[in-house]
């Protein structure tokens, strides 16, 4: 049995986070938000070649704030950055709705998105432009699938850049922006 060390990292502060907190938790209708300047600084503080020297691969969710966090936190690191939708955020607000793969490819041409469905986030096919809230049951099934996916990985050390609600259901703890929690699977 391979024991895999997994560094779970919540993304840096996003435009959605800043607006949501400032307007008393009303959805600011910011879809797939980018990092704020504070979020970029938080992510850049994680960049430490010695800390990540044994990380063999980095996985980011396809939401832009996670990709930006991963690129800043692992800048100059040799481990490949891969996109994986399984650990995306729970869909409950505008900020949890992603962008279609052609848009992501245009912004991040050096990354691979072809393995994703065009609408890779939780949605209602009958109302594709509406915000479809993902049920707790569906989220927990995805968390279980993610645990199995991690257990099947062959790498010994992995970094995963994800989102607060998903990471909370995975670990049972609340993550601050750019907080790192290291677990063994």
**Dist. CA 5–CA 94, nearest whole Å:** 32
Distance CA 8, CA 183 (A): 8
Asked if pLDDT for residue 24 goes beyond 80, the answer is no
- How many degrees, rounded to 5, is the angle at CA 70 between CA 184 and CA 152? 35
**Mean per-residue pLDDT for 58-71?**
98
Convert the pLDDT of each residue in 80-95 to its tens digit: 999 999 999 999 999 9
Give the model's pLDDT for residue 185: 81
Torsion of CA 50, 52, 53, 58, to 10 degrees: -160
**Alpha helices in 2-63, H assignment, sequence order:** 15-22, 37-45
Domain boundaries, the chain: 5-184
User: What is the rounded average pLDDT of the residues 97-110?
Assistant: 96
What is the mean predicted confidence (pLDDT) over 100-116?
A: 97
User: Is the Cβ–Cβ distance between 6 and 160 less than 8 Å?
Assistant: yes
Kindly state the percentage of the chain with pLDDT values over 90: 86
> If you classify domain 5-184 with CATH, what class do you get?
alpha beta
Res 25 pLDDT > 80:
no
Of 53, 1, 14, 41, the residue nearest 164 (C-alpha): 14
User: What count of residues does the chain have?
Assistant: 185
d(CA 162, CA 142) in angstroms, rounded, equals: 13
pLDDT of residue 106: 97
């Amino acid at each position: 049995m391979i024991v895999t060390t997994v560094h779970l990292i919540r993304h840096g502060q996003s435009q959605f986070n800043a607006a949501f907190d400032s307007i008393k938790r009303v959805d600011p209708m910011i879809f797939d938000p980018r990092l704020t300047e504070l979020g970029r600084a938080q992510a850049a503080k994680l960049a430490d070649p010695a800390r990540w020297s044994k990380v063999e691969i980095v996985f980011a969710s396809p939401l832009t704030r996670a990709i930006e966090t991963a690129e800043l936190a692992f800048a100059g690191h040799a481990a490949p950055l891969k996109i994986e939708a399984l650990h995306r955020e729970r869909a409950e607000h505008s900020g949890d709705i992603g962008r279609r793969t052609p848009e992501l490819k245009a912004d991040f041409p050096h990354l691979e998105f072809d393995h994703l469905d065009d609408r890779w986030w939780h949605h209602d096919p009958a109302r594709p432009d509406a915000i479809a809230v993902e049920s707790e049951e569906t989220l927990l099934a995805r968390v279980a699938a993610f645990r199995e996916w991690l257990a099947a990985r062959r790498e010994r050390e992995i970094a995963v850049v994800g989102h607060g609600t998903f990471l909370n259901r995975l670990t049972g703890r609340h993550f601050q922006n750019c907080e790192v929690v290291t677990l063994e699977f």
